[in-house]
Chains A and B, each alone.
Chain A
């Protein structure tokens, strides 16, 4: 079993699509890596893999080794900077062309999920984050079955459930929490994503998708609320173009001034080089929020073992 060297497995789940499972997975991975942990990301969204795009490694191809696949390295560990290594595996790497549709029925998806869990050569990993497709169907059943059977109980730390604040989304995510209860997967906590948007022009915060829905849901289900994440267009720009986040003068998050100094960034490193992503992410307004969330997850995972 290729998971034997993995210390903690964390699932990222949501009943609803497009709430930011993949962006949360990406940011959790980056902040865990910034905290010095070695991290692996497994993308089991078979029909819509987003993780390769998120890390800017769409062109990468998986290497086949005897008996399994080698994951793609986003960046190596850098002990002097206190950054852990980051490796990724996704179905996106196995497709001949990026626009190809993967039209698979359940049994084939199940087989692929099992193969992803057993045939990827993860090295020593502190954390394996598993990004999932929306819903509570084939992929999730297979994932839960395989993990509950094959992973050691101390390995499976639990699930981070992502939602957006509006009722339409929480209605579906409530189903996902019930799925976790039924299958016996521990819920590490709920993240409320896309909670508020700060206008870059006038700094007025608008709750586009309302606010607070995730917190209420966490309370209803008696699970921990990990935090509220605002929409930051600069993070999207970072992912899409590789440009370092820049904020106008006077922008502050939780009382901390994060506006960029005018001379801080030159255009020399503004490429979509995946190795630099983790460095650039440090200057994103969301980085401190995720750093706190990942610290909670780390503490919780350590307590579970």
Chain B
């Protein structure tokens, strides 16, 4: 058998209790495996001859017994919003953290942020809580509070060293995402923002499966203006359609760059095919706004400061506020109540 490079439980306490429905396999899943959790496990054509066949066949089938637990745990969360993009580095985490901070400017609103990017968690750094750790109590894991009304959960809080690599394959990532939903004491939240890694794979499928019953309000899709990025984002929109996730809107990030010296606006990432707005029209989804590139926004994220507090008058900040208001409108909420003016 091939030597496995998967790290042997780097965060032991994280996955102390193995997933109930996942059978213990004696060999790696073969190429055409229907999935050990699937209905055909152990009985599909490709299972013939697989050393796992008997194990898979006898494993419990049917809906995941943890789903009702997740639904119960998240009963106090009013709106669950996913932040997605097929492309990496377009600003999913930046947008998530800024959305969270914008929503949290209303002291009566409680916001939660869940970072499902297991291999590259950025949310803790952007919200300035990188050094925190989570606390475990009898009622569950307590999230980290970045502000009085802003709760955060990320794998970064569980790493012994900041730079540790999480070398995990899909099933293990799914297990952790499930624990984030099942075991974290979110309490009463008005909004739960779910930041995702780029792509359309395990993390996205799992979040969708686990949250289906407790209802996802919808997804915000982020892109940058150039076609290389739109190409991947188109795939993500296709995924949302296939998975039945409502798209609340598309945000175009890094649209224009205004030179701080001569105020000349450059399209660094040229929208040769019309950018986010054209894609939104083509796909028939709402366009929530274009956020310009602002070096100060990047810096605010690096230092974990609130961009809204530091530079309330910058064009990027005004654009982000517009996005939040548009988003509130899409969810049928009063924009003035969600983000109070002034």
A→B interface (CB under 8 Å):
15-19, 22, 47-48, 50, 53-54, 98-111, 133-138, 140-141, 144-145, 149, 164, 166-169, 171-172, 174-179, 182-183, 197, 199-202, 204, 206-210, 231, 233, 236-237, 239-241
The answer to whether A208 and B293 touch (CB under 8 A), given A17-B87, A111-B31, is yes
> Taking the complex as formed, is B319 at the interface, i.e. its CB lies under 8 A from any CB of chain A?
no
9 pairs, A vs B, C-beta closer than 8 Å: A141-B6, A149-B3, A171-B122, A175-B164, A199-B261, A202-B261, A202-B264, A204-B260, A240-B228
| Nearest-neighbor residue (CB-CB) of B34 within chain A | A107
0/1 interface trace, chain B 173-215, chain A, CB 8 Å (1 if under)? 1000000000000000000000001111110110000000000
Known: A204-B262, A208-B257. A105 touches B202 (CB 8 A): yes
Q: 8 extra interchain contacts, Cβ-Cβ under 8 A, other than A204-B261, A210-B295, A240-B272?
A: A48-B88, A50-B231, A100-B238, A106-B170, A141-B6, A166-B302, A183-B167, A208-B257
Whether A136 touches B166, Cβ cut-off 8 Å, given contacts A48-B232, A167-B125, A240-B270, is yes
Residue in A closest to B88 when the chains form the complex, CB atoms: A17
**A263–B155 alpha-carbon span in the complex (Å):** 57
Contacts of B119 in A (CB 8 A): 15, 134-137, 172, 175
Indicate if B267 sits at the interface (CB-CB under 8 A): yes
Output the least CB separation between A258 and chain B (Å).
18
Known contacts being A18-B90, A136-B165, A197-B257, is A105 close to B170, with CB within 8 Å? yes
Chain B residues near A202: list those with CB within 8 A.
Answer: 259, 261-262, 264
Query: Distance (Å) between the CB of A10 and the closest chain B CB?
Result: 19
* Interfacial chain B residues near A207, Cβ < 8 Å: 295
* Cα separation A137 to B5 with both chains bound (whole Å): 11
Evaluate whether A166 and B165 lie within 8 angstroms (CB atoms) in the complex, with A99-B234, A101-B236, A133-B199 already known: no
Contact B120 A107 (CB under 8 A): no
Residues of A near B35 (CB, < 8 A) are 105, 107
Residues of chain A lying within 8 A (CB to CB) of residue B259:
199, 201-202, 204, 206
A197 to B175, CA, bound (A): 42
Residues on B with beta carbons closer than 8 Å to the beta carbon of A177: 163
Which residues of chain B are near A50, meaning CB under 8 Å? 228, 231-232
Complex Cα distance, B90 from A109, in Å, reads 23
- For B200, give its contact among A101, A169, A175, A179 (CB under 8 Å): A101
Measured CB to CB, the closest approach of chain B to A32, in angstroms, equals 21
Give the interface centre of A100, A172, A178 by most chain B CB atoms within 10 Å.
Answer: A172
Q: Taking the nearest CB of chain B, how far is it from the CB of A96, in angstroms?
A: 12
Instruction: Among A53, A172, A182, point to the contact of B122 (Cβ < 8 A).
Output: A172
Binding site for A on B (CB under 8 A): 2-7, 28-33, 35, 86-90, 93-94, 118-122, 125-126, 162-171, 173, 197-202, 204-205, 224, 226-229, 231-232, 234-236, 238-239, 242-243, 257, 259-262, 264, 266-270, 272-273, 293, 295, 298-299, 301-302
Among A108, A137, A178, contact of B168 (Cβ-Cβ < 8 Å): A137
Within the assembled complex, what's the spacing in Å between the Cα atoms of A75 and B197? 35
**Cα–Cα, bound, A113→B50 (Å):** 21
Residue from the set A140, A168, A239 with the largest chain B CB neighbour count within 10 Å: A168
With A16-B89, A16-B120, A204-B259 in contact, do A209 and B295 touch (Cβ < 8 Å)?
Answer: yes
Whether B120 pairs with A135 at a CB distance below 8 angstroms is yes
Does the CB pair A237–B205 fall under 8 Å? no
Could you tell me if B88 and A237 are in contact, using CB atoms closer than 8 angstroms?
Answer: no
Across the interface, A102 reaches (CB within 8 A) one of B235, B243, B301, namely B235
B301–A166 touching, CB < 8 Å: yes
> Which one, B121, B257, B262, B302, contacts A167 given CB within 8 A?
B302
B-chain residues with CB within 8 Å of residue A204 when the two chains form the complex: 259-262
Which one, A18, A47, A140, A210, contacts B201 given CB within 8 A? Answer: A47
Beta-carbon contact of B165 and A179 below 8 Å: yes
- The distance from the CB of A226 to the nearest CB of chain B, in whole angstroms, is 19
- Provide the residues of chain B in CB contact with A104, threshold 8 Å: 200-201
B234 pairs with A107, CB closer than 8 A = no
In the A-B complex, the 6 residue pairs with the closest CB atoms = A17-B88, A18-B89, A106-B170, A201-B264, A135-B119, A172-B120
Report the minimal beta-carbon distance from A29 to chain B, rounded to whole angstroms: 16
Q: Which residue of B lies closest to A18 (CB)?
A: B89
